[in-house]
Structure 1
Amino acid sequence: MPAQQHLVQVPVTELRPTQMTVGAAEVALKRSQWAQLKSKARDKLLLSHWFPAVKGPRNQFFIVDHHHLGQALVHEEVKTVWVMQLADYSTLELDMFWRLMEFHHWAHPYNEKGLRCEFSAIPKILSKLKDDPYRSLAGEVRKAGGYAKDSSPYTEFLWADFFRPLFRKSDLSAKGGQGLPQSLVVEAVALARGPKAQFLPGWSGVSGTFHQST
């Protein structure tokens, strides 16, 4: 681990997001899982789930992953979490800070419609992240084996944009807190494995160029 990477305990309400949206269904699932944990299990989870973050202007920590868990913990009134500091950009002006964050793929200023926005539009607190149901769909499709987990940042958002023109937003409403309709997830998995998705990271389908040997 590089010397500048170290752990810091930070109030969860003070964590700064680096994206604009989350999938509300995924946040709800994490809240449900948290509610089922006993005290020791909760402590263990917090110790094992570090929030990777960059120290930015005003010595605030801008997290670059785990936004869904972070919002869930805010709603569950968890006080503090452990942050793994990736870099210290606290001496930079805000404009240069965001330019460097984007250069390192540590920021994703796209709204719930998939449209690019100014960095100033990124919410300053986790509780203000808006719901993008297509991001929830992308997460469910990955869990169902529709595509492989990829180390590239913001992979799920690319998949969300792939699904955006293929499904109506009204059809993505979670039913009674039970998550997305399963029939819709099955349909999305089939599309994810199709040749039209082969340019996306983690694609694991069939391109249509396979020829059976004789």
Structure 2
Amino acid sequence: MSSFESVRAAVRVIADTAVQNEQYFCDLDAVAGDGDFGYSLARGFESVMENWDAIDDSNPSSFLRGVATTLATRLGGTSGPIWGTGFMRAGAAVKDRPELDLHDAHAMIDAAIGGIEHRGGATAGDKTLLDALYPVRDELSAAMTRSDAPHAVAVAVAAAARRGATHTKALKASRGRASYVGDRSIGYEDPGAVAVALMAENIAGLWSSGVNPDPSVPLQKESAR
């Protein structure tokens, strides 16, 4: 499997994770939000899968930007602009790159973070999906100094995302609808950060044994933690 094929497989896993965990993500969001995060995310990524064959896959950048456009159009609420911007910036970061390496992966995450920060005005500690993405970027940066196998990097990245998501439990929401409830948001994980962590864990499953399985195989749903 080429690096570009791996990107496509990863996006498919992200989409499957969003759709199959719709209720779980809604339940997380209902604690301090309006409870529709899972619904919005699932509808957006359902649209990505429905339009899969129509998305320009001439190169990684075009593909990611096509995914971004679909998400921005079909993913409702504030999530559409945020997730759409993340994918759009990631695609722009690897423009004209036919194949990708670890440095490109870091560049994509870094660009996605920058775009989300600019679009949503959030930063570290605001209890958003960024609190899971920052550790991912840090782990990719560290991985560039080592010579780990791809599956080891993926597992480490997933562990970093999960640590970030778990840490949001201690945070007070400063952005989004959850910020309206103030201290009541403390003690619960941010649904966006949990979604990032679960997606990273499922992506790591593609390489956990050093062999890439069929990305169309249904994934296990997450259970409440």
Q: Same fold (TM over 0.5)?
A: no
Structure index of larger Rg:
1
- Which structure has the higher relative contact order (CA within 8 Å, separation 6+)? 1
Q: TM-score range by the shorter chain?
A: under 0.3
Hey, which of these two has a bigger chunk of helix by percent?
Answer: 2
